């Protein structure tokens, strides 16, 4: 990995009047507006350079440019920790700015694209940001050594100062201008992890104070002078179109400015949200539903069942399953299903587009900066470098704000193009729930065979569900031989030692828009695999934890989290009457998670989760507090889906609309959650998503322990568990 590129700074900085601005290791043309703590930081203009992450001012302010979207997962603390560890700056003097869209900020694993997702933020920046910090530190030390005419090796940096053994000190701010004239070192030595002062220590989040006192700005908070607000009336059936439109009452409503059609529907533009909302309610639209009106989840399920009985595209084939089934002592089959799920972020989608004749600034919470910028540029007829995205704080993302089609940004750009004025398009909660791009609905048929000792000798798993990558920019890279890698992850790579395995896939197509949802394919495959392996354990008359451990002999990291979870949960000890425990283990995004759920079931069939013990091996940990918080949040997210979540369609229309019929876990239903981190010297891996997959099977397996009834569909239905 190349260190920071050195430019001819002296002439450039002084000619452009930036010499007084201090050492700048990050240049960019468009000024980046401040948000949160960045309010005190001065923005500078100039060209981009690689690894453009640091700005140090004469007042000792250290501004860090963060190229990942902060949506509650803590990257506005963990990524600065990587830089600060090597830079040796004063943590209390750090300010943050969101990065503009530029090649210098592209994802290190995704190619020419800037974005946040796949629980990859820390992993992908682990080396690059530390190199950025170390390079800046060495330049500052070199500047101090030149000032004192001493050997740089005799100096050290600490808390935004360079210190010499004889007691001389210079602050980073005092050294900034001189350091700017020095070449960037071609090679720097990163710290030995044993000498880390910040990485690995629980650290308070930098964004918490302003999220608490209301100063933090989210997409919904974005405003510019003269801004109007638009809401879109979208077809009630996916793929539908406007047949006729009567907007007379809407145009007469006070505050409404414009009504016009765009590709996604009918835009109502007003002075503020409520006139736009009321005006939209008054629209009289006759829709042409098209073929989508015949679509229902019931009809899709029948088609999925038919496909599950036929061979699909092979994702994994080990050994000879057919032969193994013929010679097996026992054979077991089960069918599992999970529904469409909405992302249901607390902050609904929104996008502000300030479009001028030869430029455009977009303010929104996005996970896909490059794709969204490019989409807006195409729609507005601008060059890519004429469009700037100012990334706001995201009130939840869960993948929805990483839309491959850039739907909510494209829609806002289409409105701005017609309007010719700054406009913010806002989605209501109902728009969001009914507006598509869901976690796909899945049906899985799985069959296994046991030998005389209860060991699985054959495993056949057929998966049926829509591809989220088909038709997206990622299809060419991640769909091979008809198999979408995200459809089979967590199933095609099961860790259990089974000699004969066949995993195949059907990817039916319909008009329901789908995309990644927190933990992507793992969100359904973990439920299937970990529920069925539990069934096999009971069929073999074995303890579910011991059975798993026996089959994980070749996977020490799985075994470690599973063993620790069982120990911390008191696996095997007596529980109060009416309670049971369930266990699950899963690997996702490079991390290993085990969870034990303790539940009870009422006579009416309602499930109460009392306690969850979660163990995690995510490699080297940057901020333990963030890891624990993400596991807790993932468990809340996963429980909401397991207990309540379902998007269903009737006559092509989504049945759910808001939190009254798309329920979230309430505080009164929150279990006690205990998180234990397995120490590791492996490289850092994902944290934001891996905690979701194990919770549903852990709960389902606990329900079996209490009731003796197997749950093979989600969400958990009380009528399936009602007693008497």
> Residue by residue, what is the 3-state secondary structure of 609-628?
EEEEEEEEECCCCCCHHHHH
At residue 182 the predicted structure's pLDDT band, cuts being 50, 70 and 90, is confident
Count of C-beta atoms within a 10 Å radius of residue 187: 9
Q: How far apart are CA 389 and CA 30, in angstroms?
A: 10
Share of the chain residues as helix, strand and coil, in percent rounded to the nearest 5: 35, 25, 45
Mean pLDDT of all residues in 542-562:
98
At residue 409 the predicted structure's pLDDT band, cuts being 50, 70 and 90, is very high
At residue 96 the predicted structure's pLDDT band, cuts being 50, 70 and 90, is very high
Q: Which residues pair with 351 in a beta bridge?
A: 425
Q: How far apart are CA 23 and CA 676, in angstroms?
A: 41
Q: How many CA atoms lie within 13 A of 443 on its CB side?
A: 18
Mean pLDDT of all residues in 502-519:
97
At residue 154 the predicted structure's pLDDT band, cuts being 50, 70 and 90, is very high
Q: How far apart are CA 269 and CA 288, in angstroms?
A: 23
Q: Rounding to the nearest 10 degrees, give the CA dihedral for residues 238, 241, 244, 246.
A: 60
| 616-673 pLDDT tens trace | 999 999 999 999 999 999 999 999 999 999 999 999 999 999 999 999 999 999 999 9
Q: What's the confidence (pLDDT) of residue 3?
A: 31
Please say whether the beta carbons of 363 and 390 come within 8 A: yes
At residue 724 the predicted structure's pLDDT band, cuts being 50, 70 and 90, is low
Mean pLDDT of all residues in 119-143:
96
Q: What's the confidence (pLDDT) of residue 61?
A: 86
Mean of pLDDT over the chain: 92
Tokens for 275? 């006139």
At residue 78 the predicted structure's pLDDT band, cuts being 50, 70 and 90, is very high
Please say whether the beta carbons of 69 and 365 come within 8 A: yes
Q: What's the confidence (pLDDT) of residue 18?
A: 35
**Helix/strand/coil (H/E/C) assignment for every residue in 4-30:** CCCCCHHHHHHHCCCHHHCEECCCCCC
Share above pLDDT 70 across residues of the chain, in percent, rounded to a whole number: 93
At residue 528 the predicted structure's pLDDT band, cuts being 50, 70 and 90, is very high
> What is the pTM (predicted TM-score) of this model?
0.92
At residue 9 the predicted structure's pLDDT band, cuts being 50, 70 and 90, is very low
Residue 183 above 50 pLDDT? Answer: yes
Tokens for 352? 């502000």
Residue 555 above 60 pLDDT? Answer: yes
At residue 159 the predicted structure's pLDDT band, cuts being 50, 70 and 90, is very high
SS3 320: coil
Please say whether the beta carbons of 511 and 291 come within 8 A: yes
End-to-end CA distance of the chain: 65
Q: What are the backbone dihedrals phi and psi of residue 256, each rounded to the nearest 5 degrees, phi first?
A: -80, 130
Q: What's the confidence (pLDDT) of residue 635?
A: 98
Q: How far apart are CA 630 and CA 690, in angstroms?
A: 9
Residue predicted with more confidence, 50 or 276: 276
Q: Rounding to the nearest 10 degrees, give the CA dihedral for residues 142, 145, 146, 152.
A: -60
Q: Which residues pair with 471 in a beta bridge?
A: none
Asked if the bond preceding 43 is cis, omega within 30° of 0, the reply is: no
Residue 540 above 80 pLDDT? Answer: yes
At residue 31 the predicted structure's pLDDT band, cuts being 50, 70 and 90, is very low
| 692-705 pLDDT tens trace | 999 999 999 999 99
Q: How far apart are CA 515 and CA 339, in angstroms?
A: 14
Q: What are the backbone dihedrals phi and psi of residue 286, each rounded to the nearest 5 degrees, phi first?
A: -100, 120
Residue 12 above 60 pLDDT? Answer: no
Q: What's the confidence (pLDDT) of residue 447?
A: 98
Q: What's the confidence (pLDDT) of residue 19?
A: 33
Please say whether the beta carbons of 222 and 392 come within 8 A: yes
């Amino acid at each position: 990995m190349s260190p920071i590129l050195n430019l001819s700074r002296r002439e450039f900085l002084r000619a452009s009047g930036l010499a007084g601005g201090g050492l700048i290791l990050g240049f960019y043309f468009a000024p980046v507006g401040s948000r949160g703590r960045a309010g005190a930081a001065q923005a500078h203009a100039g060209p981009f350079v690689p690894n453009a992450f640091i700005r140090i001012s004469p007042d000792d302010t250290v501004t860090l440019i963060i190229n990942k979207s902060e949506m509650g997962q803590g990257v506005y603390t963990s990524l600065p920790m990587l830089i600060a560890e090597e830079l040796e700056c004063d943590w209390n003097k750090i300010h943050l700015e969101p990065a503009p869209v530029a090649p210098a900020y592209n994802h290190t694993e995704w190619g020419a694209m800037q974005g946040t997702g796949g629980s990859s933020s820390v992993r992908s920046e682990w080396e690059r940001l530390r190199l950025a910090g170390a390079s800046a530190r060495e330049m500052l030390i070199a500047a101090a050594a030149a000032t004192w005419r001493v050997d740089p090796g005799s100096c050290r940096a600490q808390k935004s100062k360079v210190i010499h053994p004889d007691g001389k000190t210079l602050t980073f701010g005092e050294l900034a201008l001189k350091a700017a004239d020095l070449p960037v070192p071609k090679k720097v030595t990163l710290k030995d992890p044993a000498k880390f002062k910040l990485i690995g220590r629980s650290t308070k989040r930098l964004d918490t104070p302003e999220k608490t006192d209301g100063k933090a700005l989210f997409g919904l908070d974005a405003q510019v002078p003269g801004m109007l607000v638009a809401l879109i009336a979208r077809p009630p059936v996916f793929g539908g179109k406007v047949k006729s439109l009567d907007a007379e009452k809407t145009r007469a409503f006070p505050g409404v400015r414009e009504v016009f059609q765009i590709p996604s529907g009918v835009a109502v533009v007003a002075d503020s949200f409520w006139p736009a909302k009321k005006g939209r309610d008054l629209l009289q639209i006759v829709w042409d539903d098209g073929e989508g009106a015949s679509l229902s989840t019931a009809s899709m399920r029948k088609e999925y069942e038919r496909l599950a009985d036929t061979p699909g595209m092979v994702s994994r084939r080990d050994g000879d399953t057919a032969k193994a089934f013929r010679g097996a002592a026992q054979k077991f089959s089960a069918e599992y299903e999970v529904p469409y799920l909405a992302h249901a972020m607390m902050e609904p989608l929104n996008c502000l587009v300030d479009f001028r004749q030869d430029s455009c600034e977009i303010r929104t919470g996005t996970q896909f900066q490059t794709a969204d910028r490019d989409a807006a540029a195409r729609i507005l007829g601008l060059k890519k470098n004429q469009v700037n995205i100012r990334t706001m704080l995201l009130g939840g993302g869960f993948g929805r704000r990483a839309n491959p089609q850039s739907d909510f940004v494209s829609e806002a750009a289409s409105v701005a193009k017609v309007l010719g004025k700054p406009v913010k398009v806002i989605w209501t909660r109902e728009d969001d729930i009914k507006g598509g791009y869901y976690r796909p609905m899945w049906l899985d048929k799985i069959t296994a065979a046991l030998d005389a000792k209860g060991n699985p000798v054959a495993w056949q798993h057929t998966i049926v569900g829509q591809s989220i990558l088909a038709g997206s920019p990622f299809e060419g890279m991640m769909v091979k031989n008809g198999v979408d890698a995200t459809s089979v992850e967590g199933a095609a790579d099961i860790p259990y030692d089974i000699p004969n395995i066949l995993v195949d896939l059907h990817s039916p197509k319909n008009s329901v828009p789908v995309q990644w949802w927190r933990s992507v394919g793992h969100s359904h495959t973990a439920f299937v695999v970990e529920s069925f392996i539990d069934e096999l354990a009971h069929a073999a008359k074995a303890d579910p934890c011991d059975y798993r451990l026996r089959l994980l002999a070749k996977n020490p990291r799985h075994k470690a989290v599973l063993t620790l979870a069982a120990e911390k949960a008191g696996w095997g000890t007596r529980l109060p009457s009416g309670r049971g425990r369930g266990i699950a283990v899963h690997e996702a995004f490079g991390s290993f998670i085990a969870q034990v759920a303790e539940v009870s079931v009422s006579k009416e069939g309602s499930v109460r989760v009392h306690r969850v013990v979660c163990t995690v091996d995510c490699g080297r940990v940057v901020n333990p507090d963030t890891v624990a918080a993400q596991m807790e949040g993932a468990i809340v997210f996963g429980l909401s889906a397991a207990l309540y979540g379902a998007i269903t369609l009737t006559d092509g229309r989504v049945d759910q609309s808001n939190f009254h019929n798309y329920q979230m876990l309430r505080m009164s239903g929150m279990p006690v959650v205990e998180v234990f981190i397995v120490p590791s010297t492996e490289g850092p891996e994902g944290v934001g998503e891996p905690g979701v997959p194990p919770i549903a099977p852990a709960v389902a397996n606990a329900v079996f322990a209490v009731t003796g009834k197997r749950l093979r569909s989600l969400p958990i239905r009380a009528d399936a568990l009602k007693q008497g």
